[in-house]
Structures are given as structure tokens and as C-alpha cells.
Chain A
Amino acid sequence: MTNMTTGTPAVPASDRPQGAPVLEARGLTKHFRVRSRAVRGKARFRGIVHACEDVNLTLEAGRVTAVVGESGCGKTTLARMLARLVKPTRGEILLDGKPVPHGKLHEYRHRVQIVFQDPFASLNPIHSVRYHISRPLRIHHRARRNAEVNAAVEALLSRVKLDPPGQFADKLPHELSGGQRQRVAIARALAAGPTVLLADEPVSMLDVSIRLGVLNLLGELRDIEGLAILYVTHDIASARYFADTMTVMYAGRVVESGPSLEVTAHPAHPYTQLLLDAAPDPERAGPHVIEAKGSAPSLVTPPSGCRFHPRCPHAMPVCAEQQPPDISVGEGHVAACWLRHADYTYATDSPTPAGK
């Protein structure tokens, strides 16, 4: 969240005492270079994928922050940059308010751990559950002797509700269901003793009936152990259910952020409105309120100005020219949309604009 007038990072709303910032992203940007091979003498095409552009995000202790967006919006790139699996092109990461030094990955990983989307791919099929969890324990010197390690493994397995732990510790990944594997992946992340957990679509590969169980487990880790959790998802309903604050991304940029109930009840950015409108919703009261044209843009040649303007039913000339500033639309609720700017008239009381 940047302050629109000065461009300096704004302090997150301070109405949450337990919400001490732990991990912060400031202006994180990632450009991937792509090229294609020459075909019959045609020129080599070189391009830059603008995957993530100038993203500010704060993860607070004891809070879940959701990053919501469609595929290709840069949400996973953001999580990977925060996990330092991908080096940002620009911008910096602050841990406990201090810039993260180069290298020193070992120390960083002790504090910040990631859980990947696919528990069928993120566990090594030839290693037992015990091995998966004991590696980080040893690497981060949290347990040395075998007895210590085994006790710690069992404690971690009960923390992720794999009871009785003795029964699970010596199983191989293929003997576990998807939900159980994801719990092992979470236990492995916890083994390093992190204060920040980055969860990249942790439940999207799981069956519907067991998703909530895994989300509730992460919720408990937040409430009881005060972990700061990043929840990356495409499912805005689960983000509303699980996250305290929500950041909506579109085509590599943050378009809206704020308390998750507030964002879903009063979406300020037309893209957030579209996302909510398109989500399956048996309780939907009326017809759809927003019709968007086309599909998400190419990130090699992103649209000028606001990246949503070619699809936006409310687009104005300024939207094609200038990137909209972050404008406060409520307590801790920020939207990057010209419609909310004081220079342009807009009925701010209606959550969903009528007409065009």
C-alpha cells in the first residue's frame, strides 16, 4: 500500500494490536525475459513478461493476508519472490522492518517458509514422512539427536492433526491422501520454526470436502501460534472465509486491498466487482452487475495506464493514459482506480455502479 500523495509506503492500519508487521514487500517487481528461436530467418523475438509490477504488501503476525487473482496475474510470482525462490527485478523485502541482506538464505528460510500448491509433486515419493520433516529440523539445528528429532517429528505431526503421529511418520507419500500430504507439507514448513508461512494455493488441488479442514488448520496456526500467513488463491470465497486482509491482483498489479469482509462486501475496483460477480454463488440476489469484455491481457505488452482499462465497462480516457494511484476508499481499504479519484465524479456510496 503506497500513500498516493508522497509515494512512500503507508503504515498499515493500526487498529489491530496483534498485527505487528513481520514481512513486507516494497515495490516488488519481476520481469521475466523471454525469447523465441528464429524460424526460417524471421527475427528473433525478445520480450519481457511484466509478471509482477510494483507490489507492496505487509504480512502481520497472527494475520492471514490473501492474494487473490486469476491465473497469470502474478500472485505466485509474488509468493516466490517473498520466499526468495525468484530474485526480484526491483524492490525490496523487509523482515521485521529491516531489509533482507543478500545471500543468507539459510537464516531467511528459518523465518520464512513456503507450502506449494501440489502436494503430489512437492513431496519426494521415495522418502518417508519422517524424513521429509526431519530434514528441516536438522538443517535448522532445531533437533540434533535421533530421539530429539523423532520426538519433534511426532510433535509436528500432531500439530497438523495427523493423529496418531506414530502411524503416519513412516508412511510414504503415495500411502497418503491429498489432504494428508498437504498436512505433511505444512508440517515440513513448520519444522524450520518460521514466523511467516507462504501458502501458494494450498487447497486448490484438494477435494472440496477436505479443503476447509486444511484452511482451518492454517487458521489455528495463525490464532494459536501467531504465524503471519500469506494465502495465495484464485478462490475469492475462500479468501473471504479465511483471510483477515485481502489483496486483489490483476495482470501483475495490485488493484485493491483491504479487510477481506470489506473488500467482498464493497468492492471498489471494477475488476474486484467482476471477480465477485463471476464467482459461483447460489445466494446471488439479482442479475449480474458487470459485464467485462475480452480476457486478461498479454503481460509482454501490458495495456498502458490501468491494465484493466481495455476490459473495464467504466473506462475513461485517463484510464488508458496513466496508472491510477492508490486511493483510500475506507479504513485500510485501498483501490487503484481513477473512478475513485476526487477529480472524477463517482457515486461512492453504491458498492456496484449502475449503468455505464
Chain B
Amino acid sequence: MTAPARAQAHSGEPVLEIRGLRVDYGRGRKAVHAVIDTDLTLHRGEVVGLAGESGSGKSTLAYGATRLLRQPGFITGGSVLFRPDAQRPDLAIDILDATAEDLRRLRWRELSLVFQSAMNSLNPVLTVQAQLTDTLAAHLPNATRNERQERAVELLKLVGISADRLRSYPHELSGGMKQRVMIAMALALDPQVVIMDEPTTALDVVTQRQILQQVIELRDRLGFSVLFITHDLSLLLELADTIAIMYAGRIVESAPAQQLFRAPRHPYSAALLESFPSLHGERKVMTGIPGSPPDMQKLPAGCAFQPRCRYALTRCTQDVPELTAPAIDTDAHRRVACWLHDQAELPDELSRPEPNGEPRRMVVSAPVPGAPEPSGGPR
């Protein structure tokens, strides 16, 4: 069974625009610049994947954009525009300027999060029901107890958990079910944007696939946008519409998923793609990327990837490249931050032609609305 053809993956209207965001850890001269001048746009109904190694600033970007950073993290610049109404694209709220009350209204109702370890995000001494209805009570004070209860059942069904699990405590659920509960909770108020920070990293591949299929299915049904943060680029290639790759606090390349996979433009993206062994074809020697990810406290001058880059030029050690449209592409959505694209000659690896035709996305089985999880049972 194949998924119904998605004629249009997303409507093209931006819902969340991150512009020039800067986040530091610490103040003054010892401050570590964790996110530097980052631009990222999330369109309605779009899944944007944000990939990067640990310490590249991908989670900091998400927490900064939602004002969830804790000390010693500080936002030192930029804006995060949220456009709540599809009909009125000129109406925008800058999350970074929002008051506490604005934020309270915005969070969860419009913009929710799923964290990495569901195991630690659920309260171990409260039942699933208590935790789901708590969220509803906080944001929908006018709803009656019964309405909240009904909505909780509905939400669990949405993520494929049978209603009898409402009375369960988190320890009675498997890791996959806990993560589903977290997703249900994130969707409780029908948000427009869901940020998922490594939601499946702690799970097994089989459970991971089930949950990701569910996310895509729900996205197709409910039309929210997803910012999906992960270190696993191979996962994003199947899941995301657009992929942004972060390295040392900056986005170094962003492109539609298939374009990035078939025709990467940044040496880091190309090398990262070469770091995932394939399940098909000849077994060939792959080298990974030499060296180690940089220490954010002492970043090299110029492009941060330059010490590990096989094509590095003298210029790369002096100036930081800007994220711009590569000269060789016609696709308006591509951005790359690399000086090589100013050169007349590009390495073959970085100048492959872009693929044509339908973008390939994760294939989802036909959705069974409200189907309970097949085997269930606490582990």
C-alpha cells in the first residue's frame, strides 16, 4: 500500500521564520557562540530536518527560537517571526520580543515540543491521563472535566494507543509508547508548529520507523509543520521535505531533501552523506570525515569546517562564507555557505546535476484512524 500522492508537500507560506539568530553560552569575552547568525524558515505543513553532530548547536537553535533556553544561554541577536494566521501573512509575532503572557499563550497552543528522552519528560508518579488533562486544563480553562477526558482519549487514539492505557503510569509503557504519549501531548492543542528534538534517538529502529510513519501520517492529516532535529542524516533523507545542515553553530547548507542527497553542494554535507554505509550495492571503503568536530570555545578562523575539508582554499582560513544561493543551481530554495562556489571550477562531488522528478518521501501505509497499538501490553 502506498501513500496517497502528495501533490503539494507544503503550501509555501512561511509559518516560522528564524532570522539571524545568535545564541551565546556565557557572557562577555568567555562567551561561547553556540548559534551564529542562523536563518531558517519553516513553511506551513512542511517537515524541515535540522541535522548536525553533537555540539553543532541544533538543539540550542530550537530552544533559542522558542525562548526555552536556560542560563547560561543568552539570545544575543536576531528575530523569530511566528505567523499565526494563514489568511493574514503580514501578521507576525516576534517570539524574541514577546511578553511572558504572550509566550504562555503561544507555547503549546501554537508551538509545541517533543523532547529527546520521553522517559524523562513524563512525570513518573502521575498517570498518562493526569498528564494529558493537565495540559488541557492549563490552556483550555473553560473545558469541562468530561471534555478534557474525551480529548485525552481522542489524543491517545490519534497516536495509536488504546484508551485503556490512560490509567497507566509511565513505567508501565514501553519506550515507544512513552514517546507516542509525548507526541499526543504535543498535539493536544492542535499546534501549527511541532519541534521534535531527537524524538527517536533512544528507540530501536523498528519502533523509530513506526513512530516516524505516524508523525508523517498525522502531519498529512492535521497539517502542522515539523522542525525535526537529529544527528541521523540518513533518517531525514526519507522523512523531511527540506534539510538544513548545521556545523559549529552555523547552517552550512539547506536544500530540498532529495536535492541534498543527490547533489550536495557543501563539502561537509557531501562527506556526511559518505559517512552512512549503504544497505545496497558493492561494499566500498568509506573514510568518514578526518579530524574531530571543532571545539566551540576555540573555533578555527574562517570557515569552521576548513581544517577537515579536503578542498580548503586559502580564503577559507580567513573569511567566513555566507549562506547564499549557489551559482550553479537554478532552484531558488538552495543555500550553501562555501567559498568553493565562488570558484570557476568546482569539484565533481559538489557539482552533480540536481535530480528531476517527484521528490521521494517516506512511504506510509494507509492510515487506520484510531487503530489501537496492535500488541500493546506493558513490558
Residues of A bordering B, CB below 8 Å? 70-71, 177-180, 207-213, 216, 234, 236-238, 240-242, 261, 264, 274-284, 286-288, 291-296, 298, 310-311
Contact = CB atoms under 8 A, between A and B. Distances in A.
Interface in B192-245: 204-209, 231-235, 237-238
Leading 8 A-B pairs by shortest Cβ distance: A294-B375, A212-B288, A241-B277, A293-B374, A282-B237, A209-B289, A177-B292, A70-B204
Given A278-B205, A280-B237, A240 B232 contact: no
Interface stretch (B28-36, B279-287, B310-318, B325-333): B279-287
Interface residues of B, number: 45
Contact of B374 (A261, A279, A294): A294
B277 A209 contact: no
B275 A282 contact: no
A282 B261 contact: yes
B365 interface: yes
Contacts of B376: 294
A280 B235 contact: yes
A277 B232 CA distance: 17
B288 A241 contact: no
Contact of B283 (A261, A283, A284, A310): A261
Given A275-B206, A293-B374, A281 B365 contact: no
7 contacts: A210-B289, A213-B289, A280-B205, A280-B238, A282-B261, A295-B176, A310-B375
Nearest to B176: A295
B289 A70 contact: no
Interface of B: 1-2, 53-54, 174, 176, 204-209, 231-235, 237-238, 261, 271-272, 275-280, 283, 285-290, 292-293, 363, 365, 373-377, 379
A210 B291 CA distance: 8
A30 B254 CA distance: 49
Contact of B234 (A274, A275, A280): A280
B286 A70 contact: no
B288 A213 contact: yes
A126 B152 CA distance: 51
A179 B292 contact: yes
A237 B204 contact: no
A208 B206 contact: no
A71 B379 CA distance: 13
B288 A237 contact: no
A240 B271 contact: no
A311 B237 contact: no
Contacts of A212: 275, 277, 286-288
B169 to A, nearest CB: 14
Contacts of B293: 177, 207, 209-210
Contacts of B286: 212, 241
Given A276-B279, A295-B379, A281 B287 contact: no
A280 B1 contact: no
A241 B283 contact: yes
A264 B277 CA distance: 13
Contacts of B377: 294
B7 to A, nearest CB: 19
A208 B272 contact: yes
A288 B209 CA distance: 10
B205 A283 contact: no
A208 B374 CA distance: 34
B331 to A, nearest CB: 19
B372 to A, nearest CB: 11
A179 B207 CA distance: 28
A281 B275 contact: no
Contact of A207 (B53, B206, B363): B53
A327 B286 CA distance: 34
Given A211-B288, A282-B238, A294-B374, 17 more contacts: A70-B205, A177-B293, A207-B53, A207-B54, A211-B275, A212-B286, A213-B288, A234-B205, A241-B277, A274-B206, A280-B232, A280-B237, A281-B280, A283-B278, A287-B365, A294-B375, A295-B375
A208 B365 contact: no
B279 A295 contact: no
Given A70-B205, A296-B204, A216 B289 contact: no
Contacts of A287: 1-2, 363, 365
Among A264, A276, A279, A282, the one with the most B-chain Cβ atoms within 10 Å of its Cβ is A282
A292 B206 contact: yes
A282 B234 contact: yes
Nearest to B289: A209
Contacts of B280: 281, 283
A67 B374 CA distance: 28
